Amino acid sequence: MQTPAVPDLAHTRTRPVHWLATATAMAAVVAAAGLLQPEAATASQAGGPPETATVALAPDPATVELPLKCVGAKILVTEKASGDLDGDGSPETVAVARCDAGMGTPPNAVYVLTQGGDAGARVVATLLETTEAMNVNGLALSDGTITAKLFGYSSPDVPRSNPDRQENVKWQWKGGKFVRTTQPGALRM
């Protein structure tokens, strides 16, 4: 049996330079898509001049001094979500923050931020203190309800790589304050 004569095609073998070229091209496409934004939407009645809607911006945690004491380290915001939590028509931001210790994962704090008029954004509530020694994962905000999964340790003897406490919690604005409840199915070891 005779083997067909097929030329050795060098371009059919992938090399690191091919992957680098592909990654560079994809990065350029993503960057270009980020720069191209549609114009602001306008609404008007037939025959009337266009009107633009004014939308309140959610507070940015980077513009607020969070009440977290990080001696010799900076504050790191690890998660955030924005929405109207108290039904006043203005969005609030929920920020999960911790000290940026460089090693390990220090406990988280959870803050609610609101726009403070001329004073700028400010912290209006603390939902989780670092003294509770919990870490937050999966922060979400929907229909005025904040949900998160909390992980922690029952004692200092538990290895930091294996949290043995887990709680699925939610916070809702009720009676002028945020009320925390543990959702069914949460583990508390």
pLDDT tens, the chain, 189 aa long: 555 555 555 555 666 776 666 777 776 666 666 666 555 544 444 554 444 444 568 899 998 999 999 988 899 999 999 999 998 889 999 999 999 987 777 889 999 999 877 767 899 999 999 999 899 999 999 999 999 999 998 888 888 778 889 999 999 999 999 999 997 655 544
pLDDT at 54: 44
pLDDT at 2: 58
pTM: 0.67
AA identity, residue 149 = K
- Listing DSSP states for 26-82 in one string gives HHHHHHHHHH--PPPP-B--TTSPPB----PPPPPGGGS------TTS-EEEEEEEE
